[in-house]
Structure 1
Amino acid sequence: MADITILGSGGFGLALAIMCDNAGHKVTVWSKFQDEIDAIKRTGELKAKLPGVQVNKTIELTTDISCVKNKDMVILGIPSPFLREVCESVVPYLESRTIVVNTAKGLEGGSLKTMCCVAKECFPNNHVAVLTGPSHAEEVARKVPTTVVTASDDREVSYYIQNTLSNDTFRVYVNDDVMGCEIGGSLKNVIALAAGVCDGLGLGDNTKAALMTRGIREISRLGVAMGAKLETFGGLSGIGDLIVTCCSMHSRNRRAGILIGKGVTPEEAVRQVGTVEGYVCTKNAWELSKRMGIEMPITEQLAKVLFEGEPAANAIKNLMGRPNRNETESTFLS
């Protein structure tokens, strides 16, 4: 049994808490919002995020950030724009022996750093790992069989996470490529948002298949330029996470994209859906691609739709009208 604190009582944080509690671990969930904690205690569920899923009474709920003291593992379930702020508030209480596991997917505004890089800067004396893959909170919480991947700079740490979190319905694989796992998990939200736009425009399966296939190409192109391994993007954190996020109505990125494709403004679509990690990540990924000199046409066109007022239908025409290419990446890059 491990003593685990999960920072963040959103859908995925709470789903992991329920999963870990069911597996016999001691679990504490922290939230910044007292009203959210009160609602869970009062109703036994978080109706806004996981309606109908009972939160076990054995899970401790708190707004006291010092709950990270004396823990074996702290899991970060914080949306990427707020990760550094929360990590900095944790610093005075976190012991060096505690393993920090990041589940946030995105790039930090300004620095364009991945979330593990942010966590490592805040916790230089701790082992930091990423946990990512095709894992909708709604299904993890309901014990739907799920596979994810963990990666850290220390393989023994990855094995500890694997052995601690794996159970009958949650299978954890180990990967040594932290950067690849993070880039795949973050940028798939961009492509999923674009896939939703295609759905909202009423386009077909051919379009979505093309978008997903070329999407994983540009994700991997950026990832490799940042030091990731190409094969990582054929795994759970790459194509696996891309499939589930582009094709499921559980995906907030896809749902927001559908609204945008139907003519709703991007700002209003995000307001209606809630946390849409791909919205901010699109802007940051486009900036990173320009900084790295990497061509990412889907990301570029989506950024223009989201932030420059480009009509979505025009963005599709722009992508279809690009100069003819050879599909193989070596020829493309030459």
Structure 2
Amino acid sequence: MTAKLGIIGAGAWGTALAQAAARAGTPVTLWAFEPELVDAINQTRENPLYLKGVTLDAKIRATGEAADLADAGAWLVVTPAQHMRSSLAGFAAHLRPGTPVALCSKGIERGSLKLMSEVLAETLPAAIPAVLSGPSFAADVARGLPTAVTLACSDRMAGEKLISMIGSASFRPYLADDLVGAEIGGSVKNVLAIAAGIVEGRALGRSAHAALIARGFAEMTRLAVAMGAQRETLAGLCGLGDLVLTCSSPQSRNMSCGLALGRGEALADILAARNSVTEGVASAPAVFELAARHGVDMPICEAVAAIISGASSVDTAISGLLARPFTSESD
């Protein structure tokens, strides 16, 4: 009998991953916070709150009970990064020791400045940790469009098990062992995507957009390497690949947030109009603080953090970046 996959979080991405796993032949138990969403998924085969228009596979069963994930062979956790600790704590009693748990949310915990894998180690120490990250829009994955991602896991057998449960011709996970690199790539690209949106919203041109991606990639790589990651990881799907996608389409919540900021909209109004989390908004201050802790210069991320906190206007932040001294590209 095929092992069941448990997924915690039935937002757009969690639901898309459930669809990908079902397409790979894996039965899925999808945990949702909202009782009405559980009923809707089970009765109508659709997620009307976060992924309208996609008919969900019959192998997906929604639940609101944490205990229903106890017999799953592996878990994917897709709750927002800033709620990861409390979410994992709520499922701790139902995890079997040695179960692979793949973290699918991209962010750094504010306050503690801990990566999601560190939060996992503190809340579910019996889990085998993994990180799923890469250039992947939920709508593309849900509809079966070709997508490739990184699955980072230091336990090769556990990583291969996860890939067998979610991988298919249209959803292709590539195995890696660098969890820190995968997490930093996924977290920092959200902050840089806000910056890319601001560039677009202020009509600064395609040249500026390309420069921002390249210099942002340098910032991302500096921080990851300072934290012990492999430079090669950042040049892969979970670093450069995800950065290019997220900075290039307003389909990205982070880029669309920056686009609105660049056009002069207030951050509070932008966020109030959304029913899903814009991870880069919470991650920007944490990334800036983490960079300072490790002595890493990240001027673009610092500028985004200043805009998010209200310490700087968009125009002042742009002027500050353009006034920086000329330096070597390798610095």
Q: TM-score scaled to structure 2, two decimals?
A: 0.96
The sequence identity of aligned pairs, in percent, is 37
CA displacement at 1:55 relative to structure 2: 1.7
SS in 1 for 2:247: helix
Residue 306 of structure 2 is matched in structure 1 by: 304
**Residue 293 of structure 2: aligned partner:** 291
SS in 1 for 2:30: strand
* 1:323 aligns to 2:329 (yes or no): no
Where 2:198 maps in the other structure, the secondary structure is helix
Which letter does structure 2 place at the counterpart of 1:307? S
Aligned residues: CA RMSD: 1.3
User: What is the CA-CA distance between 1:69 and the residue it aligns to?
Assistant: 0.7
CA–CA distance in structure 2, aligned partners of residues 179 and 239 of structure 1? 15
Aligned length in residues: 329
Q: Secondary structure at the match of 1:232?
A: helix
Task: Output the CA distance in 1 between the equivalents of 2:62 and 2:29.
Answer: 6
Q: Contact conserved, 1:72 with 1:97, CA < 8 A, in 2?
A: no
CA distance in 2, matches of 1:61, 1:162: 22
Q: Deviations over 1:256-297 (max 9, x none)?
A: 111111111122212223310000000110111112111110
Per-residue CA deviations over 1:104-159 (Å, capped at 9, x if unaligned) read 10001111111111112111122110011001100000000000011122122222
Contact 1:135/1:148, CA 8 A, preserved across alignment = yes
Runs of 4+ in 1 over 3 A off after TM superposition: none
> Quick one: which amino acid aligns to residue 220 of structure 2?
I
Secondary structure at the counterpart of residue 28 of structure 2: strand
Q: Read off the aligned partner of 2:264 and give its amino acid letter.
A: G
The aligned counterpart of 2:76 is 75
Greater relative contact order structure (CA < 8 Å, 6+ sep)? 2
For residue 75 of structure 1, give the secondary structure of its aligned residue in structure 2.
strand
For 1:279, the aligned partner's letter is: V
Match for residue 198 of structure 1? Answer: 199
Q: Kindly indicate whether the alpha-carbon contact (under 8 Å) linking 2:99 and 2:126 is maintained by their aligned counterparts in 1.
A: no
What is the one-letter code of the residue matched to 1:194?
A: A
Contact 2:37 2:49 in 1 (8 A): no
Partner in structure 1 of residue 245 of structure 2: 244
One-letter identity of the residue aligned with 2:101: V
SS of residue in 2 equivalent to 1:121: helix
1:97 is matched with: 98
Structure 1 residue 164: deviation in Å? 2.8
Counterparts of 1:30 and 1:47, CA distance in 2: 15
1:324 partner amino acid: F
The Cα shift of 1:19 comes to 1.4
Amino acid at match of 1:283: P
Superposed, 1:1-334 pairs within 5 Å as 1-273=2-274, 274-328=276-330, 332=331
Contact 1:134 1:237 in 2 (8 A): yes
In structure 1, give the amino acid aligned to 2:297: E
Deviation at 1:56, TM superposition (A): 2.5
Using the TM superposition, give the Cα deviation of residue 249 of structure 1 relative to its aligned residue in structure 2, in angstroms: 2.3
Alpha-carbon distance, 1:24 to partner: 1.3
> 1:163 and 1:57, CA in 2 relative to 1: closer, same or farther beyond 3 A?
closer
- Whether the 8 Å contact between 2:147 and 2:170 is mirrored in structure 1 is yes
Conservation of the 8 A alpha-carbon contact between 2:195 and 2:304: yes
* Equivalent AA in structure 1 for residue 51 of structure 2: L
Unaligned runs of 5+ in 1: none
Note if contact 2:26-2:166 (Cα within 8 Å) is conserved in structure 1. no
Give SS of 1:29's match: strand
- The answer (yes or no) to whether the contact 2:5–2:28 under 8 Å persists in 1 is yes
Q: Is the 8 A contact 1:103 1:130 kept in 2?
A: yes
Q: Distance in 2 between matches of 1:120 and 1:246?
A: 31
Other structure's SS at 1:105 match:
coil
Deviation of 1:309 after TM superposition, in Å, equals 4.2
SS at match of 1:150: strand
Question: Structure 2 counterpart of 1:289, which letter?
Answer: A
